[in-house]
Chain A
Amino acid sequence: MVITEAINGLYQLLRGMGVTLRYLFVKPITVQYPEEEVRLHPRFRGRHELQQEDGLELCVGCGLCAAYCPTGCIYVEAGENTERERYSEGERYAKVYEINLSRCIFCGYCEEACPTGAIKLRHEFALSDYQRDDLVYTKERLLTPATPHVIVQSPEPAEGLED
Protein backbone atom coordinates (compact mmCIF):
# COMPACT_ATOMS: atom_id res chain seq x y z
CA MET A 1 0.00 0.00 0.00
CA VAL A 2 1.07 3.54 -0.70
CA ILE A 3 0.40 4.70 2.83
CA THR A 4 2.44 2.02 4.59
CA GLU A 5 5.17 2.52 2.01
CA ALA A 6 5.18 6.25 2.68
CA ILE A 7 5.26 5.80 6.44
CA ASN A 8 8.00 3.22 6.18
CA GLY A 9 9.91 5.47 3.80
CA LEU A 10 9.66 8.39 6.18
CA TYR A 11 10.82 6.21 9.04
CA GLN A 12 13.82 4.96 7.06
CA LEU A 13 14.59 8.53 6.06
CA LEU A 14 14.60 9.72 9.64
CA ARG A 15 16.66 6.72 10.71
CA GLY A 16 19.28 7.53 8.07
CA MET A 17 19.37 11.13 9.15
CA GLY A 18 19.73 10.00 12.74
CA VAL A 19 22.84 8.07 11.79
CA THR A 20 24.42 11.10 10.16
CA LEU A 21 23.39 13.30 13.06
CA ARG A 22 25.28 11.04 15.43
CA TYR A 23 28.45 11.60 13.42
CA LEU A 24 28.05 15.36 13.80
CA PHE A 25 29.17 14.98 17.40
CA VAL A 26 32.06 12.62 16.76
CA LYS A 27 35.52 14.16 17.01
CA PRO A 28 36.91 14.59 13.47
CA ILE A 29 39.64 12.18 12.51
CA THR A 30 41.45 14.69 10.28
CA VAL A 31 45.16 15.05 10.97
CA GLN A 32 46.22 18.69 10.74
CA TYR A 33 49.30 17.64 8.82
CA PRO A 34 52.08 20.18 9.07
CA GLU A 35 51.27 20.93 12.70
CA GLU A 36 50.39 17.42 13.75
CA GLU A 37 52.52 14.40 12.99
CA VAL A 38 51.14 11.80 10.66
CA ARG A 39 50.94 8.29 11.97
CA LEU A 40 52.25 5.81 9.46
CA HIS A 41 52.24 2.07 9.46
CA PRO A 42 55.60 0.31 9.75
CA ARG A 43 55.45 -1.04 6.23
CA PHE A 44 54.57 2.31 4.65
CA ARG A 45 56.60 2.75 1.47
CA GLY A 46 58.19 6.17 1.32
CA ARG A 47 61.52 7.40 0.00
CA HIS A 48 64.26 4.86 -0.68
CA GLU A 49 67.26 4.68 1.58
CA LEU A 50 70.49 2.90 0.73
CA GLN A 51 71.64 0.86 3.69
CA GLN A 52 75.12 0.86 5.18
CA GLU A 53 76.78 -1.56 7.57
CA ASP A 54 80.08 -1.02 9.41
CA GLY A 55 80.89 1.93 7.17
CA LEU A 56 80.42 -0.13 4.01
CA GLU A 57 77.52 0.14 1.61
CA LEU A 58 75.41 -2.94 1.21
CA CYS A 59 74.82 -2.20 -2.49
CA VAL A 60 77.06 -4.21 -4.78
CA GLY A 61 75.98 -2.48 -7.97
CA CYS A 62 74.37 -5.55 -9.52
CA GLY A 63 71.60 -3.48 -11.10
CA LEU A 64 68.82 -5.97 -10.37
CA CYS A 65 66.70 -3.19 -8.92
CA ALA A 66 67.02 -1.21 -12.14
CA ALA A 67 66.12 -4.28 -14.16
CA TYR A 68 63.11 -5.02 -11.99
CA CYS A 69 61.81 -1.45 -11.76
CA PRO A 70 58.50 -1.19 -13.64
CA THR A 71 58.98 2.48 -14.47
CA GLY A 72 62.69 2.33 -15.14
CA CYS A 73 63.43 5.14 -12.76
CA ILE A 74 66.61 3.61 -11.26
CA TYR A 75 69.97 4.10 -12.89
CA VAL A 76 72.95 2.08 -11.59
CA GLU A 77 76.51 2.29 -12.84
CA ALA A 78 78.85 -0.22 -11.20
CA GLY A 79 82.50 0.35 -10.35
CA GLU A 80 85.24 -2.02 -9.17
CA ASN A 81 86.27 -1.99 -5.55
CA THR A 82 90.03 -1.83 -5.04
CA GLU A 83 92.10 -2.49 -1.92
CA ARG A 84 92.70 1.23 -1.48
CA GLU A 85 89.18 2.35 -2.28
CA ARG A 86 86.61 0.01 -0.87
CA TYR A 87 82.93 0.94 -0.74
CA SER A 88 81.20 -2.38 -0.34
CA GLU A 89 81.84 -5.99 0.70
CA GLY A 90 81.78 -7.51 -2.75
CA GLU A 91 83.86 -7.00 -5.88
CA ARG A 92 81.84 -4.14 -7.19
CA TYR A 93 79.94 -1.19 -5.85
CA ALA A 94 77.50 1.36 -7.22
CA LYS A 95 79.58 4.19 -8.65
CA VAL A 96 76.44 6.01 -9.73
CA TYR A 97 73.08 5.25 -8.14
CA GLU A 98 70.20 7.52 -9.11
CA ILE A 99 66.46 7.27 -8.58
CA ASN A 100 64.16 9.60 -10.43
CA LEU A 101 61.46 10.12 -7.82
CA SER A 102 59.19 11.95 -10.27
CA ARG A 103 58.76 8.62 -12.06
CA CYS A 104 58.91 6.23 -9.09
CA ILE A 105 55.58 4.70 -8.12
CA PHE A 106 56.83 3.43 -4.74
CA CYS A 107 55.89 -0.16 -5.53
CA GLY A 108 58.83 -1.55 -3.57
CA TYR A 109 59.90 -4.04 -6.23
CA CYS A 110 63.50 -2.76 -6.04
CA GLU A 111 63.49 -3.68 -2.38
CA GLU A 112 62.30 -7.16 -3.23
CA ALA A 113 64.79 -7.62 -6.06
CA CYS A 114 67.82 -6.56 -4.05
CA PRO A 115 69.99 -9.59 -3.13
CA THR A 116 71.85 -7.76 -0.36
CA GLY A 117 68.97 -5.84 1.20
CA ALA A 118 70.70 -2.58 0.34
CA ILE A 119 67.67 -0.61 -0.75
CA LYS A 120 64.74 -0.06 1.58
CA LEU A 121 61.64 2.05 1.22
CA ARG A 122 61.29 4.02 4.44
CA HIS A 123 58.85 6.52 5.84
CA GLU A 124 59.88 9.84 4.34
CA PHE A 125 57.00 11.09 2.19
CA ALA A 126 57.25 14.90 1.99
CA LEU A 127 59.21 14.83 -1.24
CA SER A 128 57.96 17.79 -3.23
CA ASP A 129 60.53 20.13 -4.67
CA TYR A 130 60.81 23.26 -6.78
CA GLN A 131 63.04 21.90 -9.54
CA ARG A 132 62.43 18.74 -11.50
CA ASP A 133 66.14 18.01 -11.51
CA ASP A 134 66.09 17.97 -7.73
CA LEU A 135 63.77 14.99 -7.82
CA VAL A 136 66.50 12.84 -9.29
CA TYR A 137 68.04 11.58 -6.06
CA THR A 138 71.75 10.90 -6.22
CA LYS A 139 73.54 8.26 -4.22
CA GLU A 140 74.63 10.74 -1.54
CA ARG A 141 71.04 11.78 -0.89
CA LEU A 142 69.82 8.20 -0.92
CA LEU A 143 72.47 7.22 1.61
CA THR A 144 71.37 9.90 4.08
CA PRO A 145 68.72 8.50 6.34
CA ALA A 146 65.61 10.63 6.31
CA THR A 147 64.98 12.76 9.36
CA PRO A 148 61.82 11.16 10.53
CA HIS A 149 59.13 13.77 11.13
CA VAL A 150 56.49 11.09 11.32
CA ILE A 151 55.40 8.76 14.04
CA VAL A 152 55.67 5.18 12.96
CA GLN A 153 52.75 3.46 14.47
CA SER A 154 53.46 -0.07 15.49
CA PRO A 155 50.24 -1.90 15.92
CA GLU A 156 50.97 -5.54 16.71
CA PRO A 157 52.22 -6.67 13.27
CA ALA A 158 50.84 -9.87 11.87
CA GLU A 159 52.92 -13.04 12.20
CA GLY A 160 56.00 -13.00 10.01
CA LEU A 161 55.17 -9.65 8.49
CA GLU A 162 57.63 -7.52 10.47
CA ASP A 163 59.15 -4.49 8.83
Chain B
Amino acid sequence: MDVVANIVIPFIKSVIIVVGLLVGFAYTTWFERKVAARFTIRYGPNRAGPFGLLQPVADAVKAIFKEEIIPSTADKVLYVIAPGLSMATALLAFAVVPLGRPIHLFGREIALHLADVNVGVLYLMAVAGLASYGVILGGWSSNNKYSLLGALRTAAQMISYELPMGLALVSVLLLVGDLSLVKIVEYQGTLPLIVLQPVAFIVYLICSFAEAGRTPFDLPETENELVSGYATEYGGIKFPLFFMAEYIHMITASAIVTTLFLGGWQGPLTDLHPLIPPFWFFVKTVFMIFLFVWVRSSLPRVRYDKLMKFCWKFLAPLALVNLSVTAIVVALLA
Protein backbone atom coordinates (compact mmCIF):
# COMPACT_ATOMS: atom_id res chain seq x y z
CA MET B 1 0.00 0.00 0.00
CA ASP B 2 1.26 3.42 -0.90
CA VAL B 3 1.22 5.25 2.42
CA VAL B 4 1.84 8.67 0.90
CA ALA B 5 -0.90 8.39 -1.71
CA ASN B 6 -3.49 6.81 0.55
CA ILE B 7 -2.93 8.50 3.89
CA VAL B 8 -0.62 11.49 3.78
CA ILE B 9 -2.05 13.26 0.74
CA PRO B 10 -5.73 12.82 1.71
CA PHE B 11 -4.85 13.99 5.20
CA ILE B 12 -3.17 17.14 3.91
CA LYS B 13 -6.08 17.76 1.55
CA SER B 14 -8.59 17.37 4.38
CA VAL B 15 -6.67 19.83 6.52
CA ILE B 16 -6.58 22.30 3.64
CA ILE B 17 -10.32 21.92 3.03
CA VAL B 18 -11.27 22.26 6.69
CA VAL B 19 -8.98 25.23 7.32
CA GLY B 20 -9.99 26.78 4.02
CA LEU B 21 -13.66 26.46 4.83
CA LEU B 22 -13.21 27.86 8.35
CA VAL B 23 -11.33 30.87 7.01
CA GLY B 24 -13.88 31.01 4.22
CA PHE B 25 -16.61 31.06 6.83
CA ALA B 26 -14.98 33.96 8.68
CA TYR B 27 -14.66 35.98 5.51
CA THR B 28 -18.10 35.00 4.25
CA THR B 29 -19.55 36.68 7.34
CA TRP B 30 -17.43 39.72 6.55
CA PHE B 31 -18.45 39.60 2.89
CA GLU B 32 -22.11 39.25 3.75
CA ARG B 33 -22.04 42.09 6.24
CA LYS B 34 -20.22 44.32 3.78
CA VAL B 35 -22.45 43.51 0.81
CA ALA B 36 -25.70 43.54 2.79
CA ALA B 37 -24.61 46.91 4.17
CA ARG B 38 -24.07 48.32 0.69
CA PHE B 39 -27.48 47.04 -0.34
CA THR B 40 -28.95 49.12 2.49
CA ILE B 41 -26.73 52.15 1.72
CA ARG B 42 -24.44 51.61 4.69
CA TYR B 43 -20.71 50.87 4.87
CA GLY B 44 -20.76 47.80 7.10
CA PRO B 45 -17.85 46.90 9.37
CA ASN B 46 -14.94 49.26 8.67
CA ARG B 47 -13.33 49.87 12.04
CA ALA B 48 -11.39 46.67 12.81
CA GLY B 49 -8.46 46.75 10.42
CA PRO B 50 -8.49 48.07 6.84
CA PHE B 51 -11.99 47.71 5.35
CA GLY B 52 -13.00 45.96 8.57
CA LEU B 53 -11.01 42.90 7.52
CA LEU B 54 -10.18 42.03 11.11
CA GLN B 55 -13.85 42.06 12.11
CA PRO B 56 -14.21 38.24 11.97
CA VAL B 57 -11.21 37.93 14.31
CA ALA B 58 -12.77 40.40 16.73
CA ASP B 59 -16.08 38.52 16.57
CA ALA B 60 -14.38 35.20 17.22
CA VAL B 61 -12.42 36.52 20.20
CA LYS B 62 -15.60 38.01 21.62
CA ALA B 63 -17.52 34.74 21.21
CA ILE B 64 -14.75 32.68 22.81
CA PHE B 65 -14.67 34.86 25.91
CA LYS B 66 -18.43 34.74 26.40
CA GLU B 67 -19.76 32.75 29.32
CA GLU B 68 -20.84 29.20 28.53
CA ILE B 69 -24.28 28.54 29.93
CA ILE B 70 -25.94 25.14 29.63
CA PRO B 71 -29.63 25.13 30.61
CA SER B 72 -30.13 22.96 33.68
CA THR B 73 -32.92 20.97 32.02
CA ALA B 74 -31.03 20.44 28.77
CA ASP B 75 -29.89 17.05 27.56
CA LYS B 76 -26.26 17.89 28.12
CA VAL B 77 -24.58 15.41 25.80
CA LEU B 78 -26.75 16.15 22.80
CA TYR B 79 -26.73 19.84 23.63
CA VAL B 80 -22.95 19.93 23.34
CA ILE B 81 -22.76 17.57 20.36
CA ALA B 82 -25.41 19.28 18.22
CA PRO B 83 -23.44 22.35 17.05
CA GLY B 84 -20.45 20.17 16.20
CA LEU B 85 -22.64 17.73 14.30
CA SER B 86 -24.22 20.57 12.42
CA MET B 87 -20.81 21.86 11.45
CA ALA B 88 -19.31 18.52 10.57
CA THR B 89 -22.06 17.71 8.08
CA ALA B 90 -21.60 21.12 6.51
CA LEU B 91 -17.89 20.42 6.09
CA LEU B 92 -18.37 16.86 4.82
CA ALA B 93 -20.11 17.78 1.59
CA PHE B 94 -17.08 19.62 0.31
CA ALA B 95 -15.04 16.40 0.13
CA VAL B 96 -16.38 15.44 -3.29
CA VAL B 97 -16.28 18.85 -4.93
CA PRO B 98 -13.60 18.98 -7.65
CA LEU B 99 -11.64 22.23 -7.73
CA GLY B 100 -9.70 21.73 -10.94
CA ARG B 101 -7.58 19.47 -13.09
CA PRO B 102 -4.96 17.30 -11.40
CA ILE B 103 -1.77 19.21 -10.69
CA HIS B 104 1.81 17.91 -10.52
CA LEU B 105 3.56 18.53 -7.25
CA PHE B 106 6.80 16.89 -5.98
CA GLY B 107 6.66 14.39 -8.83
CA ARG B 108 3.18 13.22 -7.98
CA GLU B 109 -0.10 13.78 -9.68
CA ILE B 110 -2.51 15.31 -7.20
CA ALA B 111 -6.20 15.52 -7.97
CA LEU B 112 -7.86 18.70 -6.78
CA HIS B 113 -10.62 17.00 -4.86
CA LEU B 114 -10.50 14.97 -1.68
CA ALA B 115 -12.42 11.99 -3.02
CA ASP B 116 -13.82 11.09 -6.40
CA VAL B 117 -16.72 9.09 -5.03
CA ASN B 118 -18.43 7.23 -7.86
CA VAL B 119 -21.77 7.94 -6.21
CA GLY B 120 -20.83 11.56 -5.48
CA VAL B 121 -24.28 12.99 -6.04
CA LEU B 122 -25.86 10.41 -3.76
CA TYR B 123 -23.23 11.26 -1.17
CA LEU B 124 -24.23 14.91 -1.42
CA MET B 125 -27.87 14.03 -0.83
CA ALA B 126 -26.93 11.82 2.12
CA VAL B 127 -24.87 14.55 3.76
CA ALA B 128 -27.63 17.08 3.13
CA GLY B 129 -30.00 14.69 4.87
CA LEU B 130 -27.66 14.45 7.86
CA ALA B 131 -27.44 18.22 8.09
CA SER B 132 -30.87 18.53 9.64
CA TYR B 133 -29.80 16.32 12.57
CA GLY B 134 -27.57 18.92 14.15
CA VAL B 135 -30.33 21.49 14.05
CA ILE B 136 -33.04 19.13 15.25
CA LEU B 137 -30.95 17.71 18.09
CA GLY B 138 -29.87 21.20 19.10
CA GLY B 139 -33.45 22.38 19.23
CA TRP B 140 -34.70 19.32 21.04
CA SER B 141 -31.92 19.03 23.62
CA SER B 142 -32.27 22.69 24.66
CA ASN B 143 -35.60 21.85 26.30
CA ASN B 144 -37.07 25.17 25.26
CA LYS B 145 -40.32 25.71 23.40
CA TYR B 146 -38.87 28.12 20.86
CA SER B 147 -35.95 25.82 20.16
CA LEU B 148 -38.23 22.85 19.70
CA LEU B 149 -40.57 24.75 17.37
CA GLY B 150 -37.58 25.95 15.36
CA ALA B 151 -36.25 22.42 15.17
CA LEU B 152 -39.62 21.01 14.10
CA ARG B 153 -39.90 23.55 11.35
CA THR B 154 -36.37 22.82 10.24
CA ALA B 155 -37.10 19.13 10.08
CA ALA B 156 -40.23 19.61 8.01
CA GLN B 157 -38.59 22.18 5.75
CA MET B 158 -35.40 20.26 5.07
CA ILE B 159 -37.11 16.97 4.44
CA SER B 160 -39.68 18.59 2.14
CA TYR B 161 -37.12 20.46 0.08
CA GLU B 162 -34.91 17.43 -0.32
CA LEU B 163 -37.54 15.94 -2.61
CA PRO B 164 -37.51 18.56 -5.41
CA MET B 165 -33.75 18.86 -4.88
CA GLY B 166 -33.32 15.16 -5.56
CA LEU B 167 -35.61 15.32 -8.57
CA ALA B 168 -33.64 18.23 -10.01
CA LEU B 169 -30.46 16.24 -9.50
CA VAL B 170 -31.91 13.22 -11.28
CA SER B 171 -32.57 15.34 -14.38
CA VAL B 172 -28.89 16.28 -14.36
CA LEU B 173 -27.89 12.65 -13.93
CA LEU B 174 -30.00 11.61 -16.88
CA LEU B 175 -28.02 13.93 -19.10
CA VAL B 176 -24.58 13.20 -17.73
CA GLY B 177 -25.05 9.50 -17.11
CA ASP B 178 -22.68 9.49 -14.16
CA LEU B 179 -22.97 10.14 -10.42
CA SER B 180 -19.39 11.28 -9.98
CA LEU B 181 -19.00 15.04 -9.59
CA VAL B 182 -15.66 14.90 -11.43
CA LYS B 183 -17.44 13.42 -14.44
CA ILE B 184 -20.25 15.94 -14.17
CA VAL B 185 -17.76 18.80 -14.37
CA GLU B 186 -15.94 17.18 -17.29
CA TYR B 187 -19.28 16.82 -19.09
CA GLN B 188 -19.75 20.58 -18.87
CA GLY B 189 -16.56 21.30 -20.78
CA THR B 190 -18.35 22.96 -23.68
CA LEU B 191 -21.69 23.92 -22.21
CA PRO B 192 -22.56 24.40 -18.54
CA LEU B 193 -25.64 22.48 -17.46
CA ILE B 194 -27.50 25.67 -16.59
CA VAL B 195 -28.10 26.08 -20.34
CA LEU B 196 -29.37 22.52 -20.79
CA GLN B 197 -31.29 22.35 -17.52
CA PRO B 198 -32.49 25.84 -16.59
CA VAL B 199 -35.55 24.53 -14.74
CA ALA B 200 -33.51 22.04 -12.73
CA PHE B 201 -31.08 24.84 -11.96
CA ILE B 202 -33.80 27.10 -10.58
CA VAL B 203 -35.38 24.29 -8.57
CA TYR B 204 -32.04 23.21 -7.20
CA LEU B 205 -31.08 26.78 -6.34
CA ILE B 206 -34.32 27.38 -4.43
CA CYS B 207 -33.86 24.10 -2.57
CA SER B 208 -30.28 25.06 -1.71
CA PHE B 209 -31.59 28.21 -0.08
CA ALA B 210 -34.04 26.13 1.93
CA GLU B 211 -31.45 23.53 2.87
CA ALA B 212 -28.98 26.15 4.04
CA GLY B 213 -31.76 27.82 6.04
CA ARG B 214 -31.19 31.16 4.36
CA THR B 215 -33.67 33.93 3.66
CA PRO B 216 -36.38 33.65 2.33
CA PHE B 217 -36.46 30.20 3.92
CA ASP B 218 -34.85 31.02 7.27
CA LEU B 219 -37.75 29.61 9.23
CA PRO B 220 -35.46 27.62 11.54
CA GLU B 221 -34.42 30.93 13.07
CA THR B 222 -37.24 33.45 12.55
CA GLU B 223 -36.07 35.86 15.20
CA ASN B 224 -39.34 37.76 15.32
CA GLU B 225 -41.48 34.82 16.39
CA LEU B 226 -39.12 32.14 17.72
CA VAL B 227 -36.41 34.35 19.34
CA SER B 228 -33.64 32.52 17.51
CA GLY B 229 -35.26 29.16 16.77
CA TYR B 230 -33.11 26.15 17.49
CA ALA B 231 -30.22 28.34 18.64
CA THR B 232 -32.18 30.18 21.34
CA GLU B 233 -30.51 28.47 24.30
CA TYR B 234 -27.03 28.50 22.85
CA GLY B 235 -24.38 30.93 24.01
CA GLY B 236 -20.65 31.24 24.23
CA ILE B 237 -18.76 29.60 21.41
CA LYS B 238 -21.60 27.16 20.63
CA PHE B 239 -23.85 29.79 19.11
CA PRO B 240 -21.22 30.84 16.55
CA LEU B 241 -20.75 27.14 15.81
CA PHE B 242 -24.32 27.03 14.53
CA PHE B 243 -23.61 30.17 12.60
CA MET B 244 -20.50 28.59 11.19
CA ALA B 245 -22.57 25.61 10.12
CA GLU B 246 -25.05 27.87 8.38
CA TYR B 247 -22.37 29.81 6.55
CA ILE B 248 -20.38 26.73 5.60
CA HIS B 249 -23.64 25.28 4.32
CA MET B 250 -23.98 28.40 2.24
CA ILE B 251 -20.43 28.07 0.88
CA THR B 252 -20.92 24.38 0.20
CA ALA B 253 -24.27 24.96 -1.46
CA SER B 254 -22.67 27.64 -3.65
CA ALA B 255 -19.82 25.30 -4.52
CA ILE B 256 -22.20 22.46 -5.39
CA VAL B 257 -24.43 24.65 -7.55
CA THR B 258 -21.27 25.84 -9.26
CA THR B 259 -20.15 22.26 -9.81
CA LEU B 260 -23.47 20.91 -10.99
CA PHE B 261 -24.82 23.73 -13.11
CA LEU B 262 -22.23 26.45 -13.72
CA GLY B 263 -19.51 24.18 -15.07
CA GLY B 264 -17.41 23.92 -11.90
CA TRP B 265 -13.80 24.80 -12.65
CA GLN B 266 -14.41 24.94 -16.40
CA GLY B 267 -13.87 28.27 -18.06
CA PRO B 268 -11.74 30.09 -20.59
CA LEU B 269 -7.95 29.70 -20.57
CA THR B 270 -7.98 26.69 -18.24
CA ASP B 271 -5.11 25.10 -20.14
CA LEU B 272 -2.65 27.91 -19.51
CA HIS B 273 -1.88 27.30 -15.86
CA PRO B 274 -3.02 24.61 -13.39
CA LEU B 275 -4.25 27.30 -11.00
CA ILE B 276 -6.70 28.89 -13.45
CA PRO B 277 -9.42 26.22 -12.98
CA PRO B 278 -9.50 26.73 -9.18
CA PHE B 279 -9.66 30.46 -9.89
CA TRP B 280 -12.78 30.02 -12.06
CA PHE B 281 -14.28 27.79 -9.42
CA PHE B 282 -13.60 30.43 -6.78
CA VAL B 283 -15.09 33.22 -8.88
CA LYS B 284 -18.26 31.25 -9.57
CA THR B 285 -18.64 30.24 -5.93
CA VAL B 286 -18.19 33.82 -4.76
CA PHE B 287 -20.80 34.91 -7.26
CA MET B 288 -23.21 32.32 -5.85
CA ILE B 289 -22.51 33.54 -2.31
CA PHE B 290 -23.18 37.05 -3.55
CA LEU B 291 -26.49 35.78 -4.89
CA PHE B 292 -27.32 34.37 -1.46
CA VAL B 293 -26.61 37.75 0.13
CA TRP B 294 -28.45 39.59 -2.61
CA VAL B 295 -31.56 37.48 -2.10
CA ARG B 296 -31.30 37.98 1.64
CA SER B 297 -31.18 41.74 1.18
CA SER B 298 -34.16 41.71 -1.16
CA LEU B 299 -36.75 39.18 -0.11
CA PRO B 300 -38.83 38.84 3.04
CA ARG B 301 -39.24 35.51 4.79
CA VAL B 302 -42.06 33.32 3.46
CA ARG B 303 -44.88 32.29 5.74
CA TYR B 304 -44.68 28.72 6.99
CA ASP B 305 -47.75 27.34 5.19
CA LYS B 306 -46.69 29.05 1.98
CA LEU B 307 -43.26 27.52 2.33
CA MET B 308 -44.80 24.05 2.42
CA LYS B 309 -47.33 24.83 -0.29
CA PHE B 310 -44.63 26.20 -2.56
CA CYS B 311 -42.52 23.10 -2.09
CA TRP B 312 -45.17 20.40 -2.46
CA LYS B 313 -47.56 22.04 -4.89
CA PHE B 314 -45.14 23.88 -7.11
CA LEU B 315 -41.48 22.88 -6.87
CA ALA B 316 -41.97 19.14 -6.65
CA PRO B 317 -44.41 18.93 -9.60
CA LEU B 318 -42.20 21.28 -11.60
CA ALA B 319 -39.16 19.12 -10.93
CA LEU B 320 -41.17 16.02 -11.86
CA VAL B 321 -42.32 17.53 -15.17
CA ASN B 322 -38.77 18.62 -15.90
CA LEU B 323 -37.56 15.13 -15.09
CA SER B 324 -40.13 13.51 -17.39
CA VAL B 325 -39.31 15.85 -20.27
CA THR B 326 -35.59 15.28 -19.78
CA ALA B 327 -36.12 11.52 -19.66
CA ILE B 328 -38.15 11.55 -22.89
CA VAL B 329 -35.61 13.74 -24.70
CA VAL B 330 -32.70 11.62 -23.52
CA ALA B 331 -34.52 8.43 -24.52
CA LEU B 332 -35.34 9.81 -27.97
CA LEU B 333 -31.80 11.00 -28.61
CA ALA B 334 -30.17 7.80 -27.38
Contacts and interface: CB of A to CB of B under 8 A. Distances in A.
A24 to B, nearest CB: 5
A17 B39 CA distance: 10
A26 interface: yes
Contact of A16 (B35, B37, B299, B314): B299
B38 A13 contact: no
A26 B41 contact: yes
A26 B38 CA distance: 8
B299 A30 contact: no
Interface string B26-42: 00000000010111111
A30 B52 CA distance: 15
A6 B294 contact: no
B41 A23 contact: yes
B270 interface: no
Contact of B37 (A13, A19, A21, A28): A28
A85 to B, nearest CB: 52
Tell me what chain B mostly uses at the interface: helix, strand, loop, or mixed.
helix
B38 A17 contact: no
A23 B295 contact: no
A32 to B, nearest CB: 8
B294 A2 contact: no
Interface in A111-156: none
Contact of B39 (A6, A24, A30, A32): A24
Contact of A21 (B42, B43, B294, B299): B294
Contacts of A28: 37-38, 41-43
Contact of B294 (A20, A26, A29): A20
A16 B41 contact: no
Contacts of B39: 20, 23-24
Nearest to B40: A23
Contact of B41 (A17, A19, A29): A29
29 contacts: A2-B314, A6-B314, A13-B299, A16-B298, A17-B294, A17-B295, A17-B298, A17-B299, A20-B39, A20-B294, A20-B297, A20-B298, A23-B38, A23-B39, A23-B40, A23-B41, A24-B35, A24-B39, A26-B41, A28-B37, A28-B38, A28-B41, A28-B42, A28-B43, A29-B41, A29-B42, A30-B41, A30-B42, A32-B43
